[in-house]
């Protein structure tokens, strides 16, 4: 384990990936009512199961795809370039090729049968656009759930965060509202890593006007349970959990108890909670945190720090 001073920028950056993965693994057992939520007073646990056959302590597609982005950045890819986006697209396709236990519907429709290698980002974008033309439904929460590493790779660079969050979202989710949600959340993470403050409104100047009202209406996570497979409701549910949280554990529990797509909302919430409170504040659990591609929580800490700008 690398030594990071609690409260330092590196600690809060590491918290982004660690709390995101923790939220994911905490939400897995309860995804869409797979298992009843624990009674009040009893915290959710990383029991595994859920919609895929997921092991106790194991994170799911949310963190797996976030790792694909982070690993591309750690490998030296410049995510602002088409080559960098190819590296991310290839990472998504490598992940999909090993038959993960849980894959979102829209993500599967885009990745299934797509060819990796040079030009892969353009091919995914085209497939995502075709899916939109066919169904009109490409604003699932599947790009928001994985977006947090973009804020780390471009920490402090607002134009790059907006451009890259939007571009990586569009690899699988053609609807622009998904890209806006990713930009908004990454800007909030960037702000929290720098300041320790939680304020998702800092990104409002970079997205459509409708978002201010959507954020105002994010009061209780439960209100969004019925629709939080949709990116807007997932962001609202996560924001509702984070804005009242008095710490990482409290915020993640609020997100999970919100119901619906529990692992994804808690993974999204975790990215911002970890940015504000830091890795040192992320609670440990008896089940060891782990997941594709054969990483542990300690590896996520190292990865987060490795992708920060020099
Ligand atoms: Mg998941």
pTM of the model: 0.97
Residue 2's pLDDT is what?
A: 62
Residues 6+ positions from 261 with CB-CB distance below 8 Å: 27, 31, 32, 141, 228, 229, 234
Q: What is the mean pLDDT of residues 170-190?
A: 98
> Does the pLDDT at position 188 exceed 60?
yes
Class of domain 9-306: mainly alpha
Report pLDDT digits (tens) over 48-100.
Answer: 999 888 999 999 999 999 999 999 999 999 999 999 999 999 999 999 999 99
d(CA 280, ligand 1 centre) in Å: 24
d(CA 101, ligand 1 centre) in Å: 9
Residue 51's pLDDT is what?
A: 87
Report pLDDT digits (tens) over 140-170.
Answer: 999 999 999 999 999 999 999 999 999 999 9
Percentage of residues in the chain with pLDDT exceeding 70? 99
Residue 87's pLDDT is what?
A: 98
Q: Show me where the domains of the chain are located.
A: 9-306
d(CA 21, ligand 1 centre) in Å: 10
Percentage of residues in the chain with pLDDT exceeding 90? 96
Query: 3-state SS string over the chain?
Result: CCCCCCCCHHHHHHHHHHHHHHHHHHHHHHHHHCCCCCCCCCCCCCCCECCCCECCCECCHHHHHHHHHHHHHHCCCCCCCHHHHHHHHHHHHHHHHCCCCCCCHHHHHHHCCCCCCCCHHHHHHHHHHHHHHHHCCCCECCCHHHCHHHHHHCCCCHHHHHHHHHHHHCCCCCCHHHHHHHHHHHHHHHHHHHHCCCCHHHHHHHCCCHHHHHHHCCCCHHHHHHHCCEHHHHHHHHHHHHHCCCCHHHHHHHHHHCCCCHHHHHHHHHHHHHHHHCHHHCCCCCCCCEECCCEEHHHHHHHHHHCCCC
d(CA 143, ligand 1 centre) in Å: 12
Report pLDDT digits (tens) over 109-146.
Answer: 999 999 999 999 999 999 999 999 999 999 999 999 99
d(CA 116, ligand 1 centre) in Å: 23
d(CA 212, ligand 1 centre) in Å: 27
Residue 7's pLDDT is what?
A: 74
């Amino acid at each position: 384990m690398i030594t990071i001073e609690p409260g330092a920028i590196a600690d809060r950056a590491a918290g982004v990936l660690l709390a995101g993965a923790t939220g994911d693994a905490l939400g897995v057992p309860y995804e869409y009512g797979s298992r009843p939520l624990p009674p009040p007073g009893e915290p959710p646990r990383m029991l595994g199961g859920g919609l895929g056959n997921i092991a106790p302590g194991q994170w799911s597609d949310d963190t797996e795809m976030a790792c694909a982005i982070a690993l591309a950045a750690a490998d030296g890819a410049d995510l602002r370039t088409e080559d960098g986006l190819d590296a991310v697209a290839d990472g998504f396709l490598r992940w999909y090729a090993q038959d993960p236990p849980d894959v979102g519907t829209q993500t599967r429709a885009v990745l299934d049968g797509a060819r990796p290698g040079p030009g892969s980002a353009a091919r995914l974008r085209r497939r995502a656009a075709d899916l939109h033309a066919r169904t009109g439904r490409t604003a699932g929460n599947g790009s928001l759930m994985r977006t947090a590493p973009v804020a780390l790779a471009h920490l402090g660079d607002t134009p790059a965060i907006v451009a890259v969050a939007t571009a990586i979202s569009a690899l699988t989710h053609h609807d622009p509202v998904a890209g806006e949600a990713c930009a908004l959340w990454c800007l909030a993470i960037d702000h929290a890593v720098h300041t320790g403050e939680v304020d998702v409104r800092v990104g409002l100047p970079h997205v459509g006007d409708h978002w201010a009202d959507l954020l105002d209406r994010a009061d209780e996570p439960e209100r969004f349970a019925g629709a939080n497979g949709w990116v807007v409701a997932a962001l609202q549910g996560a924001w509702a959990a984070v804005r009242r949280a008095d710490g990482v554990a409290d915020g993640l529990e609020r997100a999970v108890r919100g119901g619906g797509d529990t692992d994804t909302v808690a993974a999204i919430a975790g990215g911002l909670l970890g940015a504000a409170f830091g890795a040192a504040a992320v609670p440990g659990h008896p089940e060891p945190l782990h997941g594709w591609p054969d990483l542990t929580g300690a590896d996520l800490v190292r990865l987060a720090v490795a992708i920060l700008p020099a």
